[in-house]
């Protein structure tokens, strides 16, 4: 008998050690209590077992684990309010923060008022232990019961069950702290995700506004540039009208000579040449602006010749380059035919050139910009370089960060390079690398597919 008791105590010791280890590795309270139930069954009868945990300070509890031969399993998510300790033995244990042992015969005989006490069927033998925290406040109750007189609980069973309840209380505090921490992390993560979505939406709106502002600056520049050839045409036309009037008067007076007629024809020829040259120049500017403006506001793939298109973009940038001692050279084979987003190409080149003019060639500093493109199999190798002021390593590391600018007080939005990066890696489906050093200029190295349409079909 003593050997059997010793074996049982060894089993209890191993069980408590196992549960202690589990409490540090298990992250789910229900799984932990299920393990407690399995372990309890190794040392005593445990066919009917449940754990009720306090949900709030208003007497609400949830039966988080419930195994019973007679009663139906309650919903573990349902919160049941314990009105008073007379409501049930479970309520008595939790509200009084004491252990309770009851038998159908002895206890009900001594306490007839407890007849029908409880929410479920009356047990032959019922044991409940309060689960308490370190401040002796109730966490809930752990209960084991039997509906058969053949299965009762000895004094030793009661002592072991109370010992188990103490270990479960300690483990529950740890698990509930982890659970609260996990919930707090989830809530914080959800809040951060919401803020991130709002930030991305705000950023997208700022990017859209920056694109519109860029387009507006392009419109203003082209309009100003068109004024020059149109002004020349107006002057030439006015001069031609005046000469025509004088010639008619001379002809009406019969004073027209061969020399005056030839002079008039020379003036007409010269004026027409001036008007033709300048109207063609204005038409080219309008055509270039129209194509670039449409492309920058469109998300459609179309076919275009890269070299021709680069010259169109450069022509649309002439208002910005005019009067600046900056030479732009384009080195691109004529046979690169693109199936991609021309608007992205236009915006990328525009942002590169504007970045060079604003940051690389300040104070009318002279310089050169070189744009080179070549085809490597089906990939376009695109290199852009200026010999401007360059930048240090810290600035270079932040170049593509949104809202980063070294000219905040001068109207810089800090979105130009960020938009460039997103267009290259997004719309063009490529990569971008950048290198620079103070006084050594700035160079972009891009690689992107010649055909985005083929790439999408392959995907």
The DSSP-derived string for 422-439 is HIIIIIS--EEEEEE-TT
Alpha-carbon distance of 331 to 423, in angstroms, equals: 22
pLDDT above 90 (res 293): no
Helix H segments across 356-427? 393-397, 416-422
How far is C-alpha 141 from the chain's CA centre?
44
Cβ atoms 89, 128 nearer than 8 A: yes
Q: What is the 3-state secondary structure (H, E, C) of 169-210?
A: HHHHHHHHHHHHHHHHHHHHHHHHHHHHHHHHHHHHHHHHHH
Q: What are phi and psi of 91, to 5 degrees?
A: -65, -40
Query: Is residue 409 predicted with pLDDT exceeding 50?
Result: no
* pLDDT given at position 227: 73
How many whole angstroms separate alpha carbon 151 and alpha carbon 145?
Answer: 9
**Which pLDDT band, with edges at 50, 70 and 90, does 208 fall under?**
low
Q: What is the pLDDT of residue 141?
A: 93
Q: What is the reported pLDDT for 287?
A: 66
> Mean pLDDT, to the nearest integer, of 218-237?
72
What 3-state class would DSSP assign to 187? helix
Neighbours of 407 (CB within 10 A): 12
Better-predicted residue by pLDDT, 175 or 102? 102
**CA-to-CA distance for 61 and 298, rounded, in angstroms?**
60
Q: Is the pLDDT of residue 91 over 60?
A: yes
For residue 385, the model assigns a pLDDT of: 96
Surface-to-core class of residue 364, CB atoms within 10 Å of its CB (0-12 exposed, 13-18 middle, 19+ buried): exposed
* 3-state secondary structure at position 365: coil
Smallest Cα–Cα separation from 56: which of 138, 151, 162, 160?
138
What percent of the chain has a predicted confidence (pLDDT) above 90?
23
The structure tokens listed for 303 are: 């076919």
* Helix/strand/coil (H/E/C) assignment for every residue in 48-73: EEEEEEECCCCCEEEEEEEECCCCCC
Q: At how many degrees (to 10) do helices 306-316 and 342-355 cross? A: 50
pLDDT tens per residue across span 262-280: 888 888 888 888 888 778 7
**Rg (the chain; Cα; Å):** 43
**Distance (Å, rounded) from C-alpha 141 to C-alpha 165?**
8
Mean per-residue pLDDT, 250-273:
85
Q: Is the pLDDT of residue 190 over 90?
A: no
Give residue-wise pLDDT tens across range 304-346: 999 999 998 888 788 788 888 999 999 999 999 999 988 889 8
CA 44, CA 47: separation in Å to the nearest integer?
A: 9
Q: Report the chain's terminal Cα–Cα distance, integer Å.
A: 75
Q: How far is CA 302 from CA 31, 64, 128, 342, 456, in A?
A: 59, 62, 77, 7, 14
Token pair of 265, please? 């024809």
Structure tokens at 200: 């991305």
Please, where are the H alpha helices in 84-154? Answer: 89-96, 106-110
Q: How far apart are CA 99 and CA 165, in angstroms?
A: 10
Judged against a pLDDT cut of 50, whether residue 411 lies above it is answered with no
Say yes or no to pLDDT of 52 above 80: yes
The mean predicted confidence, pLDDT, of the chain is 81
pLDDT tens per residue, range 428-445: 999 999 999 999 999 999
Q: Where are the beta strands (DSSP E) in 208-267?
A: none
> Please, where in the chain does CATH 3.30.565.10 lie?
298-459
* Distance (Å, whole) CA 360 – CA 354: 9
- Please name the fold of domain 298-459: Heat Shock Protein 90 (3.30.565)
Q: What is 2-185's CATH topology?
A: Beta-Lactamase (3.30.450)
> 40 pLDDT band (50/70/90 cuts)?
confident
Residue intervals of the chain classified under CATH 3.30.450.40 are 2-185
Helix (H, G, I), strand (E, B) or coil at 186: helix
Whether residue 215 has pLDDT greater than 70: no
Answer whether 441's CB lies under 8 Å from 379's CB.
no
> Which residue from 74, 60, 30 is spatially nearest to 176, judged by alpha carbons?
30
pLDDT digits (tens, 9 = 90+) for 133-153: 888 888 999 999 999 888 888
Distance CA 222, CA 228 (A): 10
The Cβ of residue 347 has, within 10 Å, a number of other Cβ atoms equal to 25
- Helix (H) / strand (E) element for 305: namely strand 302-305
Encode pLDDT of 355-406 as tens digits. 899 888 887 889 999 999 999 999 999 999 999 999 999 888 888 887 677 6
Structure confidence at residue 68 as a pLDDT band (50, 70, 90): very high
Predicted model pTM: 0.46
Asked if 99 contacts 93 with a C-beta cutoff of 8 angstroms, the reply is yes
């Amino acid at each position: 008998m003593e050997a059997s008791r010793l074996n049982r105590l060894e089993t209890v010791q191993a069980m408590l050690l196992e549960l202690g280890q589990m409490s540090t590795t298990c992250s789910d309270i229900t799984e932990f209590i299920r393990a407690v139930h399995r372990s309890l069954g190794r040392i005593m009868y445990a066919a009917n077992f449940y754990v009720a945990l306090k949900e709030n300070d208003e007497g609400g509890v949830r039966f988080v684990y419930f195994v019973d031969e007679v009663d139906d399993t309650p919903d573990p998510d349902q919160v049941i309010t314990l009105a008073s300790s007379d409501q049930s033995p479970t309520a008595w244990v939790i509200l009084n923060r004491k252990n309770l042992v009851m038998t159908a015969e002895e206890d009900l005989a001594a306490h007839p008022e407890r007849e029908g006490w409880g929410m479920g069927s009356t047990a032959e033998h019922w044991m409940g232990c309060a689960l308490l925290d370190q401040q002796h406040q109730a966490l809930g109750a752990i209960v084991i019961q039997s509906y058969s007189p053949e299965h009762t609980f000895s004094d030793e069973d009661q002592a072991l069950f109370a010992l188990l309840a103490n270990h479960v209380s300690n483990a529950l505090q740890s698990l509930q702290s982890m659970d609260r921490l996990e919930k707090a992390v989830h809530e914080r993560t959800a809040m951060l995700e919401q803020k991130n979505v709002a930030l991305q939406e705000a950023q997208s709106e700022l990017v859209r506004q920056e694109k519109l502002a860029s387009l507006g600056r392009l419109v203003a520049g082209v309009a100003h540039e068109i004024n020059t050839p149109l002004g020349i045409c107006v002057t030439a036309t006015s001069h031609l009208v005046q000469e025509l009037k004088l010639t008619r008067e001379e002809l009406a007076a019969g004073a027209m000579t061969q020399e005056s007629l030839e002079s008039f024809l020379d003036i007409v020829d010269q004026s027409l040449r001036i008007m033709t040259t300048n109207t063609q120049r204005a038409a080219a500017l309008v055509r270039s602006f129209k194509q670039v403006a449409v492309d920058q506001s469109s998300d459609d793939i179309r076919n275009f010749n890269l070299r021709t298109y680069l010259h169109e973009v450069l022509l649309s940038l002439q208002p910005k380059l005019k009067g600046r001692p900056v030479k732009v050279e384009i080195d691109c084979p004529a046979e690169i035919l693109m199936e991609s987003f021309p608007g992205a190409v236009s915006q990328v080149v525009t942002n590169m050139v504007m970045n060079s003019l604003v940051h690389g060639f300040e104070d009318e500093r002279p310089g050169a910009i070189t744009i080179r493109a070549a085809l490597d199999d089906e990939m376009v190798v695109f290199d852009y370089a200026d010999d401007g002021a360059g930048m240090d390593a810290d600035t270079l590391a932040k170049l593509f960060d949104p809202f980063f600018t070294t000219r905040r007080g001068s109207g810089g939005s800090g979105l130009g390079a960020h938009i460039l990066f997103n267009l290259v890696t997004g719309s063009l489906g490529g990569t971008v690398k950048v290198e620079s050093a103070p006084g050594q200029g700035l160079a972009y190295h891009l690689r992107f597919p010649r055909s985005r349409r083929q790439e999408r079909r392959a995907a």
